[in-house]
Amino acid sequence: MKKSNISSAPIKKVKNDYFTGLVSLREISGITKPIENDVYYVIFKKSARTRLHFHTGGQMLIVTKGKGSLVYYKKTSGGISKFKISKTKTVNLTSGDVVYIPAKKLHTHGSIRKNSVFSHLAVNFYSKNRKPVTIWYESDLRSNVTSKIP
């Protein structure tokens, strides 16, 4: 058994290309080192959001503070790194909400308030005993994906 506190979890450097606005991330799985998933505590400040992305394994979000949203998209046409998208669903999120995002589902999530903090725990599940990978895209979040972000 390993016990610690969320505030002592290692802070992971976030790539600014993956988010809009200020975001901090603590790697909870860095404390417990599970073999089935990765766990992060993510804090979004002042309307910060993720860029468009998907995970190779499923993801569960557990909202811990504030108001945010999860937006689903689908690819409507095009290639691998440049393609057209359309929004399929918006899910409003508030403290205590839990939502599961299936593997390979294009989405974005984050704060919807300019002057408040939104935070959640993100559990990224391993797929077939393989560490999950996140694929990130540059997009206008309306209809165009212009590139894959390395």
Average pLDDT, the chain: 93
CA distance 35 to 47: 33
Report pTM.
0.93
CA distance 52 to 19: 9
CA distance 121 to 28: 9
Please write the tens of the pLDDT for every residue from 3-33.
778 888 889 999 999 999 999 999 998 777 7
- At residue 127 the predicted structure's pLDDT band, cuts being 50, 70 and 90, is confident
Please write the tens of the pLDDT for every residue from 50-86.
999 999 999 999 999 999 999 999 999 999 999 999 9
CA distance 38 to 130: 11
Cβ atoms of 85 and 76 within 8 Å: the answer is: yes
- In Å, what is the CA distance from 134 to each residue of 1, 4, 96, 105? 29, 27, 25, 11
pLDDT at 137: 98
- At residue 139 the predicted structure's pLDDT band, cuts being 50, 70 and 90, is very high
CATH architecture of 8-149: Sandwich (2.60)
pLDDT at 94: 98
